[in-house]
Chains A and B, each alone.
Chain A
Amino acid sequence: MKKKITLKINNKKVIAVAGQTILEVAKENNIFIPTLCHHPDLPVKGNCRICLVEIKGQKRLFTSCSTVVKQGMEVKTNSKKVKFSRNLNLELIFSEHVEKCPTCINNIDCQLLALAKRYKIKITEFPDRKNQRKTYKLGPAVEIDGSQCIDCQSCLQACELLSGISHLKLSGRGYRQEIKPVNKLKGKSAKEAGFACVYCGQCALHCPVGSAQEQSNFLEVEKILNNPKIKAVAQIAPAVRVSIGEEFGLKPGEVVTEKLFSALKLLGFEAVFDVNFGADITTLVEAQELVDRIKNKKPLPMMTSCCPAWVRYIEVYRPELIPLLTSSRSPQLHNAGLIKSYWQKLNQETGRQIKTVSIMPCTAKKYEAKRPELKVKGQNLIDEVLTTRELAYLLHKKGIDLKKLKPEKPDNLLSRHSGAAAIYGGSGGVMESALRTAKYYLSPKSKFKALEFKTVRGLQGIKEANFKIGAKTLKVAVVSGLKNAQKLLDQRKKYHYIEVMACPGGCIGGGGQPIPTNSEIREKRRQALYKIDATKKLRQAHKNNEALNMLKWLEDNNLSHKILHTKYFKRTK
């Protein structure tokens, strides 16, 4: 048991545990202290000097994020001195941040704007000094707009500590310092230099002011929706339904699937699809391949490929491991592949082109959608990708309040999906879904009826499990957070099957998800996904007749290979 400590915050006696910071204790006692550079996913930095408090007997102020409580301490969070320094520091921070609020995706979530309102900060006290700063585009996925950066360095930490890439570096000193991506090797290996971005978007997710942000595509989507010659359709990823409610004041983990369908219809989409259907297809393809690799002694372990940031990591940094990636395409592509083949055939209207928009919890999906080798018959399967945040922004912009909408069903075709598909959005979900089906393929008559593989669930970065299927023991590992994946790759030979998601907790913690995202919020979103699964009757992909029919249809039309599989390439850019 850790030592208990008593102290006073704003004259109120509170009890804390030795080792806690003032900020943690204040939060437990519902005392608000503003923060900007602090993020519970990342180590404390003490850079922004916003969370200042006054401690009795001390002349200077202390940052509550980095100051550990002591017995008998008397803390003031809102004294005259605290107000003075906190407000002045906020004004100084605003002088770095060129306000682009009206067109900024982040304006719903912006922590800086919220503090300015709360403390009535004069945001133009000092003239902007970063007007001339560059915007760095990271592929087609993310951008770092230097004119909005407040030098908190959270993006650097996310890139180094969560993704293990260190593609973003701090260059220069003092007020001239700037966050820049690395694009030169300078005699180092790609890995050492952090040579290429993998587009995971953890920088954007951890940026308090929208300086690191997705490259927004909402304007393109609006164009599609406004064009009468285009029949616009949307598809939603498994992890969006449990998070987007947060942008409309709902609690994390509230499932809004059907409200989301009606919101998309209101925006003007003529048909709305659920990528969960595509996820069942992915499970079937991937489980088949796993069984094939095991039975025919092909390269193992097989590694998942649903996460485009992870795939890119392998292609750029570990191309020798490409043969281990499953050749299966990801659910967004499986689903879109069927929309643009099967569904398009049935719903084609003369003079009208069908365009698909994916709603994803992810920034790297913007990049995946544009990979040229994924085109079928020369056409892109996915025309635009919006993150959860971008969709929320677009809905707010159009005055659509998601939480007040009436539920609506998705398109009739391609809609039936299993519970196994629903859990794709959480770390371990792809593995569990594939195991449910692989188990059946390997040993159809097995009496082992369990559907739930609970050891692969949860937010831990690395999970391991052994499953006995028939005479075979299957060794698996599940990883979330790209940095953890790098550790695990050294021991890959121990396993038959490895699932990797680049973002902490999987897509529920994706780079395109609502801000803030932290471990409590990720856990609530995760539980919501497993609840969807648990309440479904249909829980295995191989029992989804509609999915099986689609596979048959693809085969009959000689499209299986084109739509279900892909190739990977060593990449030097």
Chain B
Amino acid sequence: MEDIISKIKEAELVGRGGAGFPVYKKWELVKSFSGDKYIIANGAEGEPGVRKDEYILKNHSQEVISALELADKYLQAKEIFLYLNHKFKYLERKLKKQIRGNKKIKIIYKPKNAGYIAGEESALLSILENRHLEAGLRPPFPVESGYNSSPTLVNNVETLYNVSLVAKDQYQNDRFYTISGACFNPGVYKLKEDFSIKQVLELTKNLPAFDFFVQVGGDASGEVLNQKQINHEVSGCGAVTIYNLKKHEPIELLKFWVSFYVDNSCGKCTPCREGTYRLQQMLSAKKMNWDHFLEILDNLSYSSFCALGSSLPIPIKSYLKNINPDLSLT
């Protein structure tokens, strides 16, 4: 079984959840800790503007399940969870057919009202364990103490898909890109992983003829880049959202980002629970206090408990910097 590990290592697979951690390392870490092992396929897909997990489960679920079985062979897991966004329930019959015979694999759905945070590695554990939904303290990381306080492998659905390709020697350094927004051909595309934003937009016939800007890595936490910056690689979870520069409404866009975080904050830590609420209030106030607004954003990146809180400043600050530098001076 060391074979699969060396194959994954050779292919230089990294996690596709967004953080880019080397896959072989995660597998080895889980194995290195003692106790019952658990495996979780994360298909919570809570970030707006990202549709790849659904696409993979629709078109390549057999590969995802094969990869879970490979991981099981390697780790001898006690239980395996296919943790899915509740919107994917329509795939259940097919998935159940494919996992029949493997009694270890259970399908669990992210609760309807659980939101974005419920896809976060430590927060999804709170759902599986039937606890109040919130982000957990790390360390210890799930690889050491995850489900039932036991070593747990949490891999994104796309990561698992790649593992099964690697096992079959079919991995070709591709990844899935979700294109959406002001474009003609939105959808999920499989292309080389090192393509630039521009290449991806050109190849999918989505490069706008009008002035535009993009958000890369999801509509909630992605970085905002202007037209001159689209030679960058597509980072994070491979999503590109296109905005019409002239037609967009700046304050409405800020409100969209902030409201998403207000609604999806788990409530655990002060900077996120209170900070996002205050940002929302400020955006609706008659007079905007930009200094205060930016301070609360800085505080989120310095002191929020988990990556959810610290990612709100990414779209807002990059938007203010790359697209609309004058807005915060008003």
Query: Which of B263, B278, B302 is in CB contact (< 8 Å) with A95?
Result: B278
Interface string of A407-441 (1 = CB under 8 A from B): 00000000000000000000000000000000000
Q: Confirm or deny: B318 has a beta carbon within 8 angstroms of a beta carbon on chain A.
A: no
Q: Confirm or deny: A551 has a beta carbon within 8 angstroms of a beta carbon on chain B.
A: no
B299–A174 touching, CB < 8 Å: no
Q: Confirm or deny: B97 has a beta carbon within 8 angstroms of a beta carbon on chain A.
A: no
Given A49-B304, A173-B133, answer yes or no on A89-B267 (Cβ-Cβ < 8 Å).
Answer: no
Which residue of chain A lies nearest to B277 when distances are taken between CB atoms in the complex? Answer: A175
Interface string of B302-315 (1 = CB under 8 A from A): 11110000100000
A175–B274 touching, CB < 8 Å: yes
What residues on A are CB-neighbors of B262 within 8 Å?
174-175
What residues on B are CB-neighbors of A96 within 8 Å?
274
Q: What is the interface residue range for chain B against chain A?
A: 20 to 34
Given A88-B296, A174-B262, answer yes or no on A46-B305 (Cβ-Cβ < 8 Å).
Answer: yes
A45–B303 touching, CB < 8 Å: no
Q: Confirm or deny: B270 has a beta carbon within 8 angstroms of a beta carbon on chain A.
A: yes
Q: Confirm or deny: A98 has a beta carbon within 8 angstroms of a beta carbon on chain B.
A: no
What residues on B are CB-neighbors of A169 within 8 Å?
132
What residues on A are CB-neighbors of B275 within 8 Å?
92
Given A45-B137, A47-B269, A175-B267, answer yes or no on A61-B302 (Cβ-Cβ < 8 Å).
Answer: yes
Interface string of B251-268 (1 = CB under 8 A from A): 000000000001111111
Given A84-B299, A89-B299, answer yes or no on A174-B304 (Cβ-Cβ < 8 Å).
Answer: no
Q: Confirm or deny: A465 has a beta carbon within 8 angstroms of a beta carbon on chain B.
A: no
What residues on A are CB-neighbors of B303 within 8 Å?
49, 52, 60-61, 85, 89
Which residue of chain A lies nearest to B296 when distances are taken between CB atoms in the complex? Answer: A88
Measured CA separation A85–B274 after assembly (Å): 13
Measured CA separation A81–B275 after assembly (Å): 17
What residues on B are CB-neighbors of A89 within 8 Å?
270-271, 274, 299, 303
Q: Confirm or deny: B115 has a beta carbon within 8 angstroms of a beta carbon on chain A.
A: yes
Which residue of chain B lies nearest to A125 when distances are taken between CB atoms in the complex? Answer: B292
B278–A151 touching, CB < 8 Å: no
Query: Which of B265, B278, B310 is in CB contact (< 8 Å) with A174?
Result: B265
Which residue of chain A lies nearest to B264 when distances are taken between CB atoms in the complex? Answer: A174
What residues on A are CB-neighbors of B276 within 8 Å?
174-175
Q: Confirm or deny: A190 has a beta carbon within 8 angstroms of a beta carbon on chain B.
A: no
Q: Confirm or deny: A177 has a beta carbon within 8 angstroms of a beta carbon on chain B.
A: yes
Query: Which of A60, A93, A175 is in CB contact (< 8 Å) with B310?
Result: A60
Measured CA separation A123–B113 after assembly (Å): 34
Rounded to whole Å, the gap between the CB of A564 and the closest CB of chain B is 46
Measured CA separation A69–B278 after assembly (Å): 34
What residues on B are CB-neighbors of A456 within 8 Å?
none
Within 8 A of B (CB), among A65-104: 66, 68, 81, 84-85, 88-89, 92-93, 95-96
Measured CA separation A89–B275 after assembly (Å): 8
Query: Which of B113, B299, B305 is in CB contact (< 8 Å) with A88?
Result: B299
What residues on A are CB-neighbors of B277 within 8 Å?
129, 174-175
Q: Confirm or deny: A172 has a beta carbon within 8 angstroms of a beta carbon on chain B.
A: yes
Measured CA separation A151–B295 after assembly (Å): 22
A92–B270 touching, CB < 8 Å: yes
Interface string of B130-160 (1 = CB under 8 A from A): 0011000101000000000000000000000
Q: Confirm or deny: A170 has a beta carbon within 8 angstroms of a beta carbon on chain B.
A: yes
B263–A49 touching, CB < 8 Å: no
Measured CA separation A370–B236 after assembly (Å): 62
Q: Confirm or deny: A302 has a beta carbon within 8 angstroms of a beta carbon on chain B.
A: no
Measured CA separation A390–B113 after assembly (Å): 42
Within 8 A of B (CB), among A150-181: 150-151, 153, 169-170, 172-177
A48–B270 touching, CB < 8 Å: yes
Measured CA separation A45–B305 after assembly (Å): 10
Rounded to whole Å, the gap between the CB of B63 and the closest CB of chain A is 34
Q: Confirm or deny: A126 has a beta carbon within 8 angstroms of a beta carbon on chain B.
A: yes
Rounded to whole Å, the gap between the CB of B67 and the closest CB of chain A is 32
Within 8 A of B (CB), among A132-165: 150-151, 153
Measured CA separation A176–B267 after assembly (Å): 8
What residues on B are CB-neighbors of A92 within 8 Å?
270-271, 274-275, 278
Q: Confirm or deny: B241 has a beta carbon within 8 angstroms of a beta carbon on chain A.
A: no
Measured CA separation A227–B132 after assembly (Å): 50
Measured CA separation A60–B309 after assembly (Å): 12
B273–A49 touching, CB < 8 Å: no
Which residue of chain B lies nearest to A171 when distances are taken between CB atoms in the complex? Answer: B132
What residues on B are CB-neighbors of A95 within 8 Å?
274, 278
What residues on B are CB-neighbors of A129 within 8 Å?
277
What residues on A are CB-neighbors of B61 within 8 Å?
none
Rounded to whole Å, the gap between the CB of B56 and the closest CB of chain A is 28
Q: Confirm or deny: A44 has a beta carbon within 8 angstroms of a beta carbon on chain B.
A: yes
Q: Confirm or deny: B162 has a beta carbon within 8 angstroms of a beta carbon on chain A.
A: no
B137–A44 touching, CB < 8 Å: yes
A-B contact pairs, 24 of them (CB 8 A): A46-B137, A47-B305, A49-B269, A50-B270, A60-B302, A60-B310, A61-B302, A61-B303, A84-B302, A85-B271, A85-B302, A92-B274, A126-B278, A170-B267, A174-B265, A174-B266, A174-B267, A174-B273, A174-B276, A175-B273, A175-B277, A176-B267, A177-B267, A177-B273
16 new A-B contacts at CB < 8 Å, known A61-B302, A92-B275, A173-B266: A46-B137, A47-B270, A47-B305, A68-B139, A84-B295, A85-B271, A88-B271, A89-B303, A92-B270, A96-B274, A169-B132, A173-B133, A174-B262, A174-B266, A174-B267, A174-B277
Q: Which 6 A-B pairs have the closest CB atoms?
A: A92-B274, A177-B267, A174-B265, A175-B277, A85-B303, A174-B267
